């Protein structure tokens, strides 16, 4: 796969402009297509402003802003915008009928080799791909906001997406220093399923009068949000101890009676088999070849650096 690709981004809103910028920074040829010149001009101005900020913060090399802008063009004519596209990334409103209609149209006018990618955060890729005759060249790429800063991108193959399409998509993302993760084609994928549980529970706690909005947000900004950049949820459970977590979940389930607190069968099985995390050197991860004291030391160092950056420590 050649490093430089022709990519058309359909939609010049917040995510469309951000994805276009992220790919242009990796020296790809980008065409942003939207309905009229006013939207296109606003999108290009937004990208220019963001580049100015990145330049001021020394995030991009000297002169990179100009070369990045030269990699981006705006168009309103759909057929012209996709005429030579290697990838088409759809970033239009989250309406399945609207997306299907667009992909049916694209299927008729795009070159045979063009890969279709949707930035949907929720809808099934397989269902969308069935509106085309290229289900093997159809994939989901769910970018995080802002796309030009955050490295994670969910990659969602449909039921008939080819291994070649997956490989090309991952390679494109890695060229832009992104961290792609493969997700099953299930509603919500991975990010939104995790995120939704947290957000819904936060609203529920407020609704039940358990805490104020300010205090609920402080739980994140002064606690959870500080740990998650350093250690993911499964790593944290390994640290706390799977047996401890099982005991806590069981108590909450017994007292609150809510299905969301019911301990997963996998957790029970792991505890029963003696996989308790760091304390047994085996949990969701295997620590038999790792120095536990050093792991904790490195975690604490990262936490101190983060808290100092956020001015939470002197």
**Is 131 among the catalytic positions?**
no
Which residue in 65, 118, 142, 245 is the catalytic one?
142
Give the HSE-up count for residue 116: Cα atoms under 13 Å, Cβ half-sphere: 32
The label of the residue with tokens 């101190």 reads 304
Angle in degrees, CA 283, 288, 293, rounded to 5: 90
**Is 26 among the catalytic positions?**
no
Packing angle between helix 242-256 and helix 233-240, nearest 10 degrees? 100
Own/partner contacts of 136-139, CB < 8 Å, gap of 24 or more, are: 136/160, 136/161, 136/162, 136/165, 137/113, 137/161, 137/162, 137/165, 138/103, 138/165, 139/115, 139/165, 139/166, 139/169
Q: What is the CA radius of gyration of the chain?
A: 23
Which residue in 90, 135, 154, 245 is the catalytic one?
154
Q: What are the beta bridge partners of residue 154?
A: 142, 181
The label of the residue with tokens 């791909």 reads 129
**Is 154 among the catalytic positions?**
yes
The label of the residue with tokens 């969308």 reads 128
Laid out side by side, the sheet with 29-33 consists of 72-75, 29-33, 6-10, 87-90, 115-118, 138-143, 152-157, 179-182
Which residue in 42, 127, 162, 192 is the catalytic one?
192
**Is 29 among the catalytic positions?**
no
Tell me the three state secondary structure of residue 282: strand
Which residue in 118, 121, 129, 131 is the catalytic one?
121
- Active-site residues, by number, are 121, 142, 154, 192
């Amino acid at each position: 796969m050649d490093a430089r690709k022709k990519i058309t981004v359909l939609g010049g809103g917040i995510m469309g402009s951000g994805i276009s910028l992220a790919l242009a920074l990796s020296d790809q040829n980008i065409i942003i297509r939207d309905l009229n010149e006013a939207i296109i001009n606003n999108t290009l101005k937004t990208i220019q402003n963001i580049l100015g900020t990145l330049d001021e913060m020394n995030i991009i090399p000297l002169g990179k802003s100009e070369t990045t802008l030269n990699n981006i063009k705006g168009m309103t004519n759909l057929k012209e915008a996709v005429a030579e596209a290697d990838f088409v990334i759809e970033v239009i409103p989250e309406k399945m009928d609207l997306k299907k209609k667009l992909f049916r149209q694209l299927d008729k006018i795009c070159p045979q080799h063009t890969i279709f990618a949707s930035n949907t955060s929720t809808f099934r890729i397989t269902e969308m791909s069935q509106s085309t005759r290229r289900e093997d060249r159809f994939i989901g790429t769910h970018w995080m906001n802002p796309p030009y800063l955050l490295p994670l991108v969910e990659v969602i193959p449909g039921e008939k997406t080819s291994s070649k399409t997956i490989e090309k998509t991952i390679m494109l993302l890695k060229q832009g220093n992104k961290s792609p993760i493969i997700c099953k084609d299930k509603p919500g994928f991975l990010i939104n399923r995790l995120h939704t549980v947290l957000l819904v529970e936060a609203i529920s706690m407020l609704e039940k009068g358990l805490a104020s909005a300010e205090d609920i947000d402080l739980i994140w900004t002064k606690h959870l949000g500080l740990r998650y950049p350093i250690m993911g949820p499964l790593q944290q459970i390994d640290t706390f101890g799977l047996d401890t977590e099982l005991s806590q979940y069981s108590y909450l389930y017994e007292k609150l009676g809510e299905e969301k607190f019911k301990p997963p069968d996998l957790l029970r099985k792991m505890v029963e088999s003696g996989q308790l995390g760091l304390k047994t050197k085996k949990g969701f991860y295997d620590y038999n070849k790792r120095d536990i004291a050093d792991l904790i030391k490195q975690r604490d160092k990262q936490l101190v650096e983060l808290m100092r950056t956020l001015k939470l420590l002197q």
